[in-house]
Structure 1
């Protein structure tokens, strides 16, 4: 049967690929990815296998990968982080819903920035937590407002993806709501450009977040009421 792998590549740093992902990429006839992932991984892969396009051409990339698999090729399509978290897995599974007898699809998990960023900061997600995207493309303003109110009230640790837009509107909304439920001294961690040479970690407080420290490649970690900063400058949410 024709084969299509949906591969999560984590931060895009080759060292962060799982062993299984590496094996899959080596046996693939074609590898589809966006131009950003191509720049990060192309030196580790056979370039004649790689088909890259614009980061924003997600649907086109998915359709092309499916069509190549239908031509009896072993195909991999790459997505940053884990493809099941704000990623391409759902798109491909929907597009191939009527091709169940023609293509065997396998999803290879990747390390999402909630996990890789948490390990850099310390252990901020030891207890229950929620992940929310602040992307304008994925976040409805009113729905986002309701979600953040519920999560903040439940005292969950929170991870925010895609916090920057032209006005920081969604991030400012989130911070305003959080400050009605939590102390301004609540520990906050910023993990920037994870897995790159420009990787940077900042630990601050909810009331002191500097928007200049936040860009589209920043993952934000909001502690719960028990989260603390240890003597060795690690962000820790106690297990017990």
Structure 2
């Protein structure tokens, strides 16, 4: 039975609960994975989401920062989380569907402003987090798994508005791209979005700092959907809902979708 999964950095789920329910109503993904929820678990508006048809919810929360959640129409079992790089952050959660498919939802650290771990602790944390992800998936080779989330890296030249201009900007530096490639290789993950849309510029994030984000279109593809090779061939229908970035009081990210015939 096919199901559609979406991933969206909501940038405060309490502030934008109405946008979440609007997406649920308009697009009706079977599973919606959120990042940067920015609230403790007890503050998550679970009743609102359950009323919208998403009664199966697993989440990890943190006051004012981070936080991840999986909201599902389908039964899903909470199979835990990992504190990669021992940061003490709510950045990962995983669940298992009744068909055995495991879903990992990640919010990788943004990394601060300076791409130098000697002067920027946050950048070092980002690299360490990615290294820990690499090691985990190398030692626990995933099968029948989907990985989604805000990975905070735009890996390809056409995943950013200007490759040369962003080579020294956090999210597109060669060292970050290499670390993300190591994570992908360690789990043999397939980039589902780019398998479906192999050519052309593709973005999922536009800065709040741009006075006219749509016209300037200085975007980056920071949000991803990956799958293991045994199920990647069942994926199709990938899309990024750019228009959502233009909703009233939006997140700076747009949701990314894919459908799996499993």
State the TM-score bracket (shorter-chain normalisation): 0.3 to 0.5
Larger helix percent: 1
TM-score (norm 1): 0.39
> Greater Rg, structure 1 or structure 2?
1
